[in-house]
Amino acid sequence: MSGSGKSIALRALEDSGYFCVDNLPPELLLSFVALERKHAGRRVAIAMDVRSAEALPQVPGQLKELRQRGVAVRPLFLDATTETLVRRFSETRRRHPLSAADNSADQHRALVEAIELERELLADLREHAHVIDSSVLRAAQLQAYVKSLLSTPHAQLTLVFQSFAFKRGIPVDADYIFDVRMLPNPHYVAELRDLTGQDEPVIAYLREHSEVDEMFQHIAGFLDHWLEPLARNHRSYVTVAIGCTGGQHRSVYPVEQLAEEFGERWTTLKRHRELGKF
């Protein structure tokens, strides 16, 4: 999505040793990759956006063909909420690629309509990619997240466990969302308020309550049942988001536990959105 952090992600890829190409026309994708394989075989990151709208429907088929040719492909889709994108375009005074050239009196409405049209045009590409929601991420967080994804082994399912705060919005990149706000809240214990779910006193407090373990078992049981079918369906990434009110205690703890539990069988990443930690 325009305004979702493409330039920042490309910088992270460049730092990781990728040769980056911005806004490559889809018509050139297959020939460009063939040329790279012939001359260098280096790792390449190719960015595309809605400016190539007419040719974008070709891309899913092209990615399939690249895989058939033995090219390792990892599609990433950068997204953000409409509210966030409107704010970013307004702050930078940039014009959305799909915005009309006229000076409409209702510029806000025109911008929202352009963003929603873009969502429709990119829906198929989003469906076949790993989605990164940049809505509340700082630039450094987004760069770190992209780099962490690149560090995982290719061609097998990767589980991404993420904690978040409902008060800051539901992450749009989540495949599954679990609400743990009904669990006992360490925020109301004075000596635990400034700690996190990674700290031992908070962990000890949560372990004292049977419903915390019961919630963990329910989530783990659900994932145990469905991960194998997801892997057989050729899913590359599954993002499991766990939310509480502030994203500091009750959601952080189960993410840590789940990452440890499933890390023995699957490639796992963990991300604490409100703590800025990966």
Binding residues for GTP: 49-52
Q: Using an 8 Å Cβ cutoff, are 186 and 206 in contact?
A: yes
**SS3 readout for 151-211:** CCCCCCCEEEEEEEEHHHCCCCCCCEEEECCCCCCHHHCHHHCCCCCCCHHHHHHHHCCHH
Q: Using an 8 Å Cβ cutoff, are 46 and 29 in contact?
A: yes
Give the span between the Cα atoms of 187 and 173, in whole angstroms.
Answer: 27
Per-residue burial over 256-267, b if 16 or more Cβ lie within 10 Å, else e, is bbbbebbeeebb
Give the span between the Cα atoms of 215 and 180, in whole angstroms.
Answer: 8
CA 45 from chain center: how many Å?
17
Token pair, residue 162, equals 């993420």
Q: Using an 8 Å Cβ cutoff, are 16 and 150 in contact?
A: yes
| Known binding positions | 49-52
Give the span between the Cα atoms of 3 and 89, in whole angstroms.
Answer: 7
